[in-house]
């Protein structure tokens, strides 16, 4: 689990924030059967026993260029929102942020989001979508997008 003081960033697409740069809840929507959303660790941290400096602006955007694919229905990353891990804990006591270095040494996950079980009833499906919407809206509350220059 990451330290609550650590800086993390969620990359955003055009529809993930409004004209006032307020981040929308949909920016934190995991894939239907996924329990996590991806974030990247942008602050100073220890990697394999060595201290790594906080990322500079250009290095942070480089992660987006290298790791976040252009989406047919969303286009390319247009912004990001930076926040502390503490924000996740403040928004919901059941969510945590953990390292997930499979694709990048600074990759992490916010989890666990509920998943929809196969053969779920209509009521279970409604509950599933309601829980996810509540979680994502709590995560987005108070976050501001930084638009890519």
User: 37 to each of 24, 73, 75, 124, how far by Cα in Å?
Assistant: 14, 18, 18, 22
- If pLDDT is split at 50, 70 and 90, which confidence band does 127 have? very high
Residue 10: CB partners within 8 Å, gap ≥ 6? 23, 27, 28, 37, 38, 39, 80, 81, 83
What is the percentage of the chain residues whose pLDDT exceeds 70? Answer: 97
Can you give the residue ranges of every domain in the chain? 7-147
Q: Which of 120, 118, 140, 128 is nearest to 37 (CA)?
A: 140
Beta strands 50-52 and 107-111, pairing class: unpaired
Contact (CB, 8 A) for 27 and 16? yes
pLDDT digits (tens, 9 = 90+) for 31-66: 878 999 999 999 998 877 888 899 999 999 999 988
The pair of three-digit structure tokens given for residue 59, joined into one six-digit string: 């290095």
């Amino acid at each position: 689990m990451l330290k609550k003081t650590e800086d993390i960033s969620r990359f955003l697409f055009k529809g993930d924030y409004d004209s006032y740069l307020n981040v929308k809840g949909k920016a934190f929507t995991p894939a239907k059967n996924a329990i996590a959303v991806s974030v990247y660790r942008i602050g100073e941290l220890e990697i394999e026993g060595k201290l790594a400096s906080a990322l500079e602006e250009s290095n942070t955007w480089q992660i987006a260029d290298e790791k976040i694919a252009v989406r047919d229905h969303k286009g390319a990353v247009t912004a990001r929102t930076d926040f502390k891990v503490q924000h996740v804990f403040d928004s919901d006591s059941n969510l945590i942020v953990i390292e997930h270095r499979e694709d990048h040494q600074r990759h992490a996950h916010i989890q666990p989001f509920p998943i929809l079980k196969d053969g779920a009833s209509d009521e279970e499906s409604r509950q599933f979508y309601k829980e996810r919407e509540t979680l994502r809206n709590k995560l987005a509350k108070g976050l501001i997008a930084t638009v890519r220059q």
